[in-house]
Amino acid sequence: MKKLIAPTTPIIMLVCASAALAHGSTVPISGIQKAEDPTVCAAIDPETGGPAYPQPMTGSLIGCWYTDPGTIVESTPDLVYVFTGTEHFVGCLDLSGRGRCAPADPSGSLALTYTFEAQYTPSGNEIWGRCQHGIVPDMGTGGFAGAAGWLDFTDNVTLGTSAYQGYITLASRRWGARATKATAFARVRRSRSMC
């Protein structure tokens, strides 16, 4: 039986690699989500037209993050809460590395689901918090149409910011070369910061 599996392994790897290339390029992302700032992001959500809690995004994602109403799904006597809901991002993926949206960068909107876990003081102040976001495939627009991926956020309650990291797989092959370049740049940046 082992002899049958070993020869098929390279074929399976080629099929998986071809499928990944057909869907576009995967790009590691990281950055900071800043505290709410209505001077940077509109207080009216451009996707829903309703009032919003907008947060500016810097780093790989440049634009505005909007949180839709969520639901408390679990709580403990220690004031740890788990929320679930949806969010969306409107902006660009900074493949050019310029710190701003350039015409060649994919831009549009991403729809995401989230699970947020946090602990609060009795007066309602956050002690710690973290959340996980899955990008909803087939709900992105513009350069994010068909995108998939995952983002993890960790709150810095002192600064009122959240550090994020994860990946986005772009559906369009159009971004292939630029995404490969951005991935190489991210690896160089990451290896330098670990020294």
* Cα 144 from Cα 99, distance rounded (Å): 18
Rounded mean pLDDT, 109-129: 96
More confident residue, 60 or 104: 60
* Cα 155 from Cα 158, distance rounded (Å): 9
- pLDDT tens digits, residue range 54-76? 899 999 999 999 988 889 999 99
Q: How far apart are the first and last CA of the chain?
A: 46
Rounded mean pLDDT, 121-143: 95
φ, ψ (nearest 5 deg) of residue 141: -125, 165
Question: Which strand (E) or helix (H) includes residue 186?
Answer: helix 176-193
* 3-state SS assignment for residue 45: coil
- How much is the pLDDT for 49? 77
Query: Which residues lie closer than 8 Å to 39 by C-beta, 6 or more apart?
Result: none
φ, ψ (nearest 5 deg) of residue 52: -135, 165
Domain of residue 140, CATH code: 2.40.350.10
- pLDDT tens digits, residue range 155-190? 999 999 999 999 999 987 654 444 444 443 443 343
- How much is the pLDDT for 63? 94
φ, ψ (nearest 5 deg) of residue 93: -105, 115
* 3-state SS assignment for residue 114: strand
More confident residue, 185 or 105: 105
Q: Are 112 and 89 in contact (CB under 8 A)?
A: yes
User: Looking at 50-54, 84-88, 115-119, 174-178, which range is the least confident one?
Assistant: 174-178
Return the structure tokens found at 113: 């689901």
Rounded mean pLDDT, 116-124: 96
Q: Are 156 and 128 in contact (CB under 8 A)?
A: no
Domain extent, residue 121, equals: 2-193
**Domains contained in the chain, number:** 1
- How much is the pLDDT for 44? 74
- How much is the pLDDT for 183? 43
* Cα 180 from Cα 25, distance rounded (Å): 7
